[in-house]
Amino acid sequence: MRINMQALGCRLNEAELETWSRQFAEAGHQLSPDNEAADLLVVNSCAVTQEAVRKSRKLVRRMQRLNPAAKLVISGCYASLEKADALKALGVDLIIPNQHKDELVARVCRELIAEDMPAIATEPAFNALFSRGRQRAFIKVQDGCRYRCTFCIVTHARGEERSRPVADIIQEINHLSEQGVREAVLTGVHIGGYGSDINSNLHKLVATLLAETDIERLRMGSVEPWDLPAEFFSLFDNPRFMPHLHLPLQSGADSVLRRMARRCKTADYRQLLKDARTAVAGINITTDIIVGFPGETESEWQQTLDYVNECAFGHLHIFSYSPREGTKAAGLAHQIERPVKRERSQQLHELGHYLKQQHLQKQLGQTVKVLLEEPLAEDPARYWAYTPNFSRIAVQCNDDSERSNAITHCRIQACSDDANHLQGKAIAP
């Protein structure tokens, strides 16, 4: 059976998609990049904002319209929150809520695919990631969240925290490494909560993965700042653990953080950054900021701008707040007008661009190991890559050994004209 799969939203959705890809392939089915040529369509949906809900609904409708003969399966947060009748009206054949995502492939094979399997199964070395042009894999280590930030609907959609057994994670990473994947990224709804239900923790997980897997590069996905103990930074002594952390801040004003029900004050976050930068040379700290949270005054907004500038982030993910039905924040007074949010967002984008430029400039002249990905469209001899601290770089390659999915030494030479990425040249070690 030919299967086309698409995901919206977070890296966790991507990680789940990749797991399903491998499971479908191992069951003897063929992954297809062509929606209209597929026999089965799978959507991993998102509902983190109203815009994400709209995009999820639009994607489901478009896939059904382009290929009405195919079976259509939907999972993810939108599927978990939307009423089943509404989804079936869109032409959905099977709905898999978040709580049963681990059963998706088995249920699809049992309920939608005929029992007789293809006569020739795929080769054992088949890798769904490479068929989609990927050099890194997103590894789901846990699901769910115990906290209730007032702006977040995902905790309602994903449910309580559930950690994967470490043995399963080790097996998955080693299997991917054997197939040629060079880098694994740990993902989850609340990664820092890993182990809360199995008598473990994130520090133990990463230490074990570094000791018992062969993957050449290991990264962390987004982790809440209050989840990192001081001893966590010693893990970066291992050069296979990449020096980058995405620590969502959301606001630089403590009064706004209280309304968000965030568990980290600006003073705590400031100390965390100091500890990380003292312990890990060249670490890149990136973050999320929500613009225009209900009740955000001009004074609170200025506090955020000043604090973000002080923190010198390497990159900002900027979100304009939009009310999400089912969250506490949607009922808060003093919702911010759209023109005000637009103006503040523009201010923050300008500051973020300046900070990124400063972050990139500090790396000029360094020699680092990079993982080559796809060639530049305008110059096949240059490849996109990421430095260990997750700075994007265009690398001038010298020979055929320095091509997609290769790890090579690179001398960082310049910033791009728009200051959005680095430029470098592959060199002998």
Question: Using CA of residue 193, residue 197, residue 201, residue 206, what is the dihedral sign?
Answer: negative
CA dihedral of residues 255, 225, 282, 301 (deg, nearest 10): -20
Per-residue model confidence (pLDDT) at position 86: 60
pLDDT digits (tens, 9 = 90+) for 4-40: 999 888 888 888 888 898 888 877 788 888 888 888 9
Cα angle, residue 100 at apex, residues 99 and 101 outer, rounded to 5°: 100
CB atoms inside a 10 Å sphere around CB 226: 16
Q: CATH code for 135-242?
A: 3.30.750.210
Residues of the chain with pLDDT under 70: 83, 85-86, 89, 114-134, 400-402
The class that CATH gives domain 2-111 is: alpha beta
With beta carbons less than 8 A apart as the criterion, state whether 233 and 243 touch.
no
Separation between Cα atoms, residue 292 and residue 342, nearest integer Å:
9
DSSP conformation class of 331: G
Q: Delimit the domains of the chain by residue range.
A: 2-111, 135-242, 246-362, 367-426
Q: What is the pTM of this model?
A: 0.78
CA dihedral of residues 153, 158, 159, 160 (deg, nearest 10): -110
- Three-class secondary structure of residue 320 per DSSP: strand
Question: Phi first, then psi: what are they for 76, rounded to 5°?
Answer: 95, -175
Nearest to 193 by CA among 163, 156, 229, 234: 163
CB atoms inside a 10 Å sphere around CB 375: 17
Confirm or reject CATH 2.40.50.140 for domain 367-426, answering yes or no: yes
Per-residue model confidence (pLDDT) at position 404: 82
Separation between Cα atoms, residue 168 and residue 398, nearest integer Å:
39
Question: Using CA of residue 329, residue 332, residue 335, residue 341, what is the dihedral sign?
Answer: negative
- Assigned token pair, 413: 């030479």
**Strand ranges inside 20-148, DSSP E:** 30-31, 40-45, 71-76, 94-96, 136-140, 142-143
- Three-class secondary structure of residue 271 per DSSP: helix
Separation between Cα atoms, residue 327 and residue 345, nearest integer Å:
22
What's the chain's length in residues? 429
Distances in Å between the Cα of 337 and the Cα atoms of 108, 128, 167, 256, 301 are: 45, 45, 49, 17, 14
Separation between Cα atoms, residue 176 and residue 199, nearest integer Å:
27
Q: Is 367-426 the same fold as 135-242?
A: no
Name, in order, each residue with C-beta under 8 angstroms of 328's C-beta and a sequence gap of 6 or more: 148, 150, 261
Cα angle, residue 71 at apex, residues 69 and 75 outer, rounded to 5°: 145
Cα angle, residue 289 at apex, residues 288 and 291 outer, rounded to 5°: 150
Under CATH, what is the fold of the domain 246-362? Transcription Regulator spoIIAA (3.30.750)
- Assigned token pair, 361: 């400039």
